[in-house]
Chain A
């Protein structure tokens, strides 16, 4: 800061010599002889230093005295230029004067000569000055003046001080003073800084301005940015400069949160993690390690109803289907939790149905014998309570109507008889289904499916939202909420896509003929203990090696056909009055579906395409591959078979594939209101003229009739008279 201008050896010396002359004049005027004597010691010291100095240096002849003085000036100028002060000024001047004024005792002849010459200089200031500026200094004279003009802004006293400096500043005792003088000179210097320095200060002040909208200044921001870049040392920082800029600004306003405070955004994540952690704890105790004793180990290695999900997941992974292995393990734990909570006999992971907001994980379950009925009754009451209430409502309504004075004509329309739902453990209700949204969340049981729901589910196509109690808004209106719709779709998918290798299941002991059950076929099967797996290649080649093992759902909505017109006991009570009307209804034909265990090759085609696609899981190693069957009718249904093992899985949206677009059912045709006949048809009221005309006509007719009667009477009278 404020570097002193590069010392030009010659210039200050020349200037100092010239100024010396002028200063001598000035000091001469201010010289007080009394003061001179007041500082004898200092003077002596000064003279001594001068002597030393002068002795050390060359002693040129008188002619060269100015040069000699110039050299002194040089020394002083170079070293002590920055130093200037009012205090040393006086000191220096006094010393100078003292030197020149007071004779020194130990002066050598040379010095005497010098001093005398100096006195001469003082006395003949003007002349000497002129001499100084005489030919000896003619050449650099211009320079002197020029350079002197450069320093016009400088304090002339300051410059003069420098020229006096050499006599003093060489003194070691006074060496510290230059530094003092240095500090003080700094202070003296600030008021008039160099122009470049000023520009830099202005620029920095501008950068330090804080922005209008925030407390961040550009300077600080650039510091942050550069620090970040230097710390991270990214590759090719120029190309990501803008992004880094934005990130740095963002970070300024979003400081990292205190470690003591919880991040509110992550709260649900942590809660879910806690729930899933609970899954990993074994049994009732906490997460115990394996070394808790052999007894516990033995107790726990009991057959559970939970299937080997990891094995199935592995095989499905070979086929390129299924959830990741981590997710599969979580599902396994969730199923284990379900088995512990409910009295379950067999359990299977059915699959995953995707929804709009949440998805469903579905477990197919069979309860132990007898356990199920208690729960089922509650559910049945809820389901059928609605129906029963309606039936009673009709009865009461009818009674009330009869009591009323005006008899409202009874509607002749009867709702078609509700087809009774199948009993549990039979047909479409063979298994129970539990759903949950995510492993760790509680399992919810789905109610049994009714035929009406299946029939309606076939007519609509809706996405699942993920909430079981969401209403299903559709036309025709679906009888139930999303839980029922979900259950209906699960039933349809199961019936259509659960397949197994030929021979895995066989019918039980043949009890009776097929005719007994009205052609509906057998509905029970059991595992074949003698089943030896079919080679994988054969499974892939022919669809006849696979069979359905779930009953087909008839158009009625059930697996076994029920004649809706057959009267159950309840209906007979209500329907006594209406029996006559029933006779006119046509008989319903019995619906027949393909029997159980029919091979896939019998399935109907979709638009010339086979409804199933078979693949080998890996073409590069056919020896160890797995046979995979994919349904084209229900996209998302997969089955694998390898040796003696097989498994079905569904992961998808839960909708059937249809090559045509979905056409919603048209609304029903408008019903006939009433037959229109002349007695109901509106006619215009007769106008007055018409009425009068009619009256006149009637009177005429009457009059004519009377005349005829009178005529007859007259005739009769005449006859009588005659």
Chain B
């Protein structure tokens, strides 16, 4: 959610039950403003909160002019002091794939797990058990990246692509209509398109290249199952909740410009999803 409309956004996203206490809200308002100034971001998003055993991580993201450029992620333990996180690489993703369980809440905590690696010594190949240590910070980075790639969403028409390449915020976006708001196809993943190239020409003919340049939610696996769309407050608010990463809430008030998403959860993927539907 945009840091500028933090209070309203928190109010609208409160249907999932998780929010922020007043003292946190107050400190966020000031600290995010300072982050924007210091790092020269165009837009600062409050991404959410990852619940740990000992402490919680508060995550913010900074965007530059091009909305689809890689975002910078910052974390804080007390909503006042923010630290920049390194970008996620494939190596970190591979390392953290083995780590399971809750977050501890201490960035320097190290997860240990033993891996069996094959070591070549001369002609012999024997397996050694190697204890791999993964720092929690690394895990944090990769989890945030996974969540962003999988479930960060945006309504159709909120961004538009200029002919030069970068995509900008659409200042004339007036909100989705009620009938559009209930369809999964009106929401896009907030990331570079992956499936778009695989569409047939017939499908692409109906698309508007300046608006439809991201993947829509229709093709998420499992189809018609990984999102829950609800109208709250008597049809005045549409809320999408991800079932794959429970804790991610996207809200949008139809016919207005208010929209945003927030993640408040344990940072674990719900791998039991197919059984639960």
Contact = CB atoms under 8 A, between A and B. Distances in A.
A354 interface: yes
A265 B234 contact: no
Contacts of B233: 272, 327
B234 A273 contact: yes
Contacts of B53: 609-610, 613, 632
Contact of B22 (A240, A317, A653): A317
A318 B22 CA distance: 6
Contact of B160 (A242, A266, A651): A242
B234 A322 contact: no
Interface in A452-485: 461-463, 466
B235 A269 contact: yes
A240 to B, nearest CB: 5
A652 B17 contact: yes
Given A323-B15, A618-B21, A661-B271, A632 B168 contact: no
Interface in A328-375: 352, 354-359
B146 to A, nearest CB: 17
A317 B10 CA distance: 12
Contacts of B107: none
B17 A438 contact: no
Interface string B232-254: 11111000010100100000000
A610 B233 CA distance: 37
Contacts of B174: 247
Contacts, number: 126
A356 B228 contact: yes
B19 A354 contact: no
Contact of B168 (A239, A326, A327): A239
Contact of A621 (B23, B102, B168): B23
A62 B236 CA distance: 98
Interface string A644-668: 0000000111010101011010000
A276 B271 CA distance: 38
A248 B170 CA distance: 15
B200 interface: no
A78 to B, nearest CB: 55
B205 interface: no
A440 B234 contact: yes
Nearest to A244: B172
Contacts of B160: 242-243
A635 interface: yes
A488 B17 CA distance: 21
Interface in B1-41: 11, 14-24
A557 to B, nearest CB: 22
A635 B54 CA distance: 15
Contact of B236 (A240, A269, A613): A269
Interface string B152-177: 00000000101000001011101001
A321 interface: yes
Contacts of B102: 609, 632
A68 B6 CA distance: 88
Contacts of A326: 11
Contacts of B78: 619
A320 B272 contact: no
Interface string A205-245: 00000000000000000000000000000100001101110
A356 B15 CA distance: 13
A276 B178 contact: no
A136 B59 CA distance: 96
A242 B210 contact: yes
B228 A324 contact: no
Interface residue tally of chain A, by bracket? 35 or more
A287 B273 CA distance: 47
A640 B143 CA distance: 30
Contacts of B162: 242
A322 B241 CA distance: 17
Contacts of B272: 461, 661-662
Contact of B16 (A240, A243, A266, A651): A651
Interface string B266-277: 100001100111
Contacts of B234: 268-269, 271-273, 275-276, 438, 440
Contacts of A272: 233-235
B17 A636 contact: yes
Contacts of A610: 53
A581 interface: no
Interface string A614-634: 000111110000000010100
Contacts of A352: 17
Interface residues of B, number: 48
B246 A653 contact: yes
A620 B160 CA distance: 43
A243 B277 contact: no
B100 interface: yes
Nearest to B104: A609
Nearest to B271: A661
Nearest to B17: A651
A662 B234 CA distance: 35
A461 B22 contact: no
Contact of B230 (A268, A322, A359): A359
B21 A461 contact: no
A664 B275 CA distance: 8
A235 to B, nearest CB: 9
Q: Which of A265, A272, A466 has the most CB of B within 10 A?
A: A265
A659 B235 contact: no
A354 B241 contact: yes
B63 to A, nearest CB: 17
B122 interface: no
A607 interface: yes
B19 A321 contact: yes
A247 B276 contact: no
A321 B17 contact: yes
B102 to A, nearest CB: 6
A320 B10 CA distance: 11
Contacts of B24: 320
A355 B17 CA distance: 13
Given A234-B171, A609-B101, A659-B100, A320 B18 contact: yes
B179 interface: yes
Nearest to B161: A242
Contacts of A655: 276
Contacts of B232: 359, 438
Given A242-B160, A243-B170, A613-B53, A461 B17 contact: no
Contacts of A651: 16-18
B18 A247 contact: no
Interface string B134-155: 0000000000000000000000
Q: Which of A354, A632, A659 has the most CB of B within 10 A?
A: A354
A490 interface: no
Nearest to B243: A463
A93 B272 CA distance: 108
B263 to A, nearest CB: 14
A634 B177 CA distance: 37
11 contacts: A239-B168, A243-B160, A269-B236, A272-B234, A322-B19, A461-B275, A462-B277, A609-B102, A618-B23, A653-B246, A655-B276
> What are the 5 closest A-B residue pairs judged by CB atoms, nearest first?
A272-B234, A651-B17, A269-B235, A662-B272, A324-B14
Interface of B: 11, 14-24, 51, 53-54, 78, 100-102, 160, 162, 168, 170-172, 174, 177-179, 210, 228-230, 232-236, 241, 243, 246, 265-266, 271-272, 275-277
Given A322-B19, A438-B232, A662-B271, 18 more contacts: A242-B162, A242-B210, A243-B160, A243-B170, A246-B172, A266-B178, A269-B235, A356-B228, A358-B230, A463-B243, A609-B53, A609-B101, A613-B53, A617-B21, A651-B17, A662-B275, A662-B276, A664-B275
